[in-house]
Amino acid sequence: MKNVIQELTHIVQAVSLASSPDEQVTLMVESISKTMAVDVCSLYLVNEQGEMILLASHGLAAQAVRKVKLPAGKGLVGLVASSRHPVNIADAEQHPTYYYVAETEEERFHGFCAVPLVSSGKVIGVLVVQTSEKRQFSKDEEGFLVTLGAQLALMLENYEVPVDDIERNIRVRGVKGAPGVAVGFSILCDHGELYEVANSPCDNIEEAVREWHQLIAEVSAQIDKEQLSLGDEVSEGVGGIFNAYKLLLNDSSFVGEVEASIRENNWLPGALKQTIQYFSELFLSMDDPYLQARHEDIHHLGNKLFNVWRGVKALEHDSQEDIVLMGRQISISDIAAAPADRLKAIVCFSGSGLSHTAVLANALGIPAVMGTGPISGLAERKLLIVDGDQGQVYISPNDLLLKEYRKLILEGNELTRQLQSLRLEPAVSTDHHRVDLYTNTGLLTDISPGLNNGAQGVGLYRTEIPFLIRDSFPTEEEQVEVYRQVLTAYAGKPVYMRTLDIGGDKQLPYFPISDEENPALGWRGIRFTLDNSPLLMTQVRAMLIASEGINNLHLLLPMVTSIREIDEFKSILSDACSQLKESGRKIKRPRLGIMIEVPAMISQIGFLKGKVNFISIGSNDLSQYLLALDRNNARVASRYDHVHPAVLHELKRILVSAKAINLPVSLCGEMAADPIAVMLLLGLGLRTLSMSAAKLPYIKWLIRNLSIAQSEIIVEKALKMDNPQAIRSFVGQKIKDLGLAELIR
Helices and strands per DSSP (H, E), number in the chain: 25, 23
CB 742 within 8 A of CB 415: yes
Q: What is the largest CA-CA distance in the chain?
A: 95
Which of 223, 277, 238 is CA-nearest to residue 254?
Answer: 277
Helix axes 675-684, 724-737, angle to 10 degrees: 90
What is the distance between the alpha carbons of residues 563 and 598, in angstroms, rounded to a whole number? 13
Q: The sheet that has 323-327: what strands, in order across it?
A: 170-173, 392-395, 383-387, 181-188, 323-327, 343-348, 368-370, 175-178
Are the beta carbons of 345 and 335 closer than 8 angstroms? Answer: no
Active site residue 348: no
Selected catalytic residue, list 191, 356, 554, 642: 356
d(C-alpha 661, C-alpha 605), whole Å: 9
659 Cβ partners below 8 Å, 6+ apart? 685
Is residue 356 part of the annotated active site? The answer reads yes
Tell me the one-letter amino acid at 505: D
Catalytic residue among 41, 113, 577, 668: 668
Half-sphere exposure of 349 (CA within 13 A, CB side): 14
Distance between CA 100 and CA 92 in Å, rounded? Answer: 10
The length of the chain is: 745
3-state secondary structure of 647: helix
| Strand ordering across the sheet containing 40-46 | 69-70, 52-58, 40-46, 122-131, 111-119, 87-89
Query: 10 Å Cβ neighbour count for 617?
Result: 30
Single out the residue of 590, 610, 391 nearest to residue 497, CA to CA. Answer: 590
The rounded distance, in Å, linking the Cα atoms of 130 and 90 is: 10
* CA end-to-end span of the chain: 50
Distance of alpha carbon 587 from alpha carbon 688, whole angstroms = 27
Active-site positions read 356, 668
